[in-house]
Amino acid sequence: MNEPTALADDLAGLAVDLARGAAEVVRAGTADHGPVFAKSDAVDLVTRVDRETERWLVEQIGRSRPDDGVLGEEGGERLGHSGVRWVLDPIDGTVNFVLGLPLYAVSVAVQWQGRVVAGAVCNPATGELYRARVGGGAFLEFGGSTAPLLGPRTVALSGAVVGTGFGYDRARRGRQAVVAAALLGRVADIRRLGAASLDLCAVATGRLDAYFEAGLSVWDYSAGALIAAEAGCVVTGLHGEPASERMAVAVGPTVAAEFVALLEELSADAVMDDPAD
Ligand code: IPD
Ligand code: CA
């Protein structure tokens, strides 16, 4: 780790405070989230609570660390000059939030010189808080206790329960469905939780054996990917690339190579990583 440990510790602590505080803002808006607006597609939603929560996060960061940059899903962007940038999803899983399905989260990642060094993901509906600092392990805080996260059980790929998701782009969804259908015959089962940050944290906690999704945005996966990696998971893209907006995979180390090879085979058939996207 090149960044001073004290800085990474400070950033990690603030990430946790921000995720917890923002989860309170979300919780306060749960009973009446106001009108729902469509963004890129009828299923790509934003509410008043998404916007208010992001505004709250950006204000808090401005107060504590005015020189830092910010990138938020709902348009909160500020260029900084400290080398630190916050990557925020005020509500990951907005569709679940609107439906009242308790699978949504505030996701706060913090980069130092372009690399994620700490992250926190808090589910306002359950109170679960996942956190990690690079090189420091990953933890779940719930009900006053803290447990280290150790990744999925050891299981053959044919017995694995795999999470995935489908983006808002209709053409990509068609290809994602082809891959998911083919994958169903090769693993035990598939889950679609509807919040990428929680999918990644589910692999970190061992509630899922693996997860993959093409076409995420950086705010969807940055914090969760660090949490999964710090829990000992392999976090990667396909064809030797790192996890990215093109493809993010998290899986336990024992089946990682086999799983990635399978995804490469299936996605090549479905042309899932079409560069035209
Ligand atoms: C979405 C969720 C969903 C994933 C989509 C994301 P949002 O984030 O993480 O699970 O499949 O690709 O865009 O829009 O609810 O913040
Ligand atoms: Ca969101």
In this structure, are 230 and 259 located in the same domain?
yes
pLDDT-derived band at 222 (thresholds 50, 70, 90) equals very high
Nearest CA to ligand 1 atom 15: 93
Kindly report, residue by residue over 44-58, the tens digit of the pLDDT.
777 899 999 999 999
* Shared-domain flag, residues 32 and 90: yes
pLDDT in tens, 91-144: 999 999 999 999 999 999 999 999 999 999 999 999 999 999 999 999 999 999
Among 127, 152, 149, residue whose Cα is nearest residue 140: 149
Residue 5 — very low, low, confident or very high, per pLDDT cuts 50/70/90?
confident
CATH of the domain at 233: 3.40.190.80
168 and 109 both lie in a single domain: no
pLDDT tier at 276, thresholds 50, 70, 90? very low
Q: Which of 268 and 107 is assigned the larger pLDDT?
A: 107
Return the CATH number at 122: 3.30.540.10
* 116 & 42 share domain: yes
How far, in Å, from the CA of 80 to the mean position of ligand 1?
26
- Among 29-38, 58-67, 218-227, the minimum mean pLDDT is found in 29-38
85 with 44: CB under 8 angstroms?
no
Please report how the helices 256-270 and 170-184 are oriented relative to each other, as an axis angle in degrees rounded to 10.
Answer: 130
Q: Pick the atom of ligand 1 nearest to 197's CA.
A: 9
198: domain range? 157-270
Whether 163 and 131 share a structural domain: no
Same domain, 70 and 23: yes
Strand intervals (E) in 45-175: 45-47, 69-72, 77-78, 84-92, 105-112, 115-122, 129-133, 138-142, 145-148, 161-164
Q: What's the CA gap between 23 and 94, in Å, rounded? A: 13
Query: Is residue 116 a contact partner of residue 225, using CB atoms and an 8 Å limit?
Result: yes
How many whole angstroms from 265 Cα to the centroid of ligand 2?
Answer: 30
* Spatial distance between the Cα atoms of 237 and 231, rounded to a whole number of angstroms: 18
Task: Give the rounded percent of residues in the chain with a pLDDT score beyond 90.
Answer: 82
Residue showing tokens 């907005």: 94
* Poorest-pLDDT segment among 2-6, 82-86, 97-101: 2-6
Q: 175 and 116: one domain?
A: no
Q: Given this model, what pLDDT does residue 170 score? A: 85
Domain membership flag for residue 276: no
The minimum-distance atom of ligand 1 relative to the CA of 193 is 10
Q: Would you say residue 226 has pLDDT above 90?
A: yes
Indicate if 141 and 162 belong to the same structural domain.
no
Q: Is residue 277 part of a domain?
A: no
Q: Give the pLDDT of residue 42.
A: 79
Q: What is the pLDDT of residue 274?
A: 53
The domain tally of the chain equals: 2
Query: What pTM was computed for the model?
Result: 0.94
Let me know if residue 275 belongs to a domain: no
pLDDT band with cut points at 50, 70 and 90 for residue 229: very high
pLDDT in tens, 153-211: 999 999 999 999 998 888 889 999 999 999 999 999 999 999 999 999 999 999 999 99
Q: What is the mean pLDDT of the chain?
A: 93
Q: Are residues 134 and 10 in the same domain?
A: yes
- Asked if residue 174 and residue 136 are part of one domain, the reply reads no
Using CB distances shorter than 6 Å, the residues near ligand 1 are 73, 89, 92-94, 165-167, 194-196, 213, 216, 220
Query: Is the pLDDT reported for residue 146 higher than 60?
Result: yes
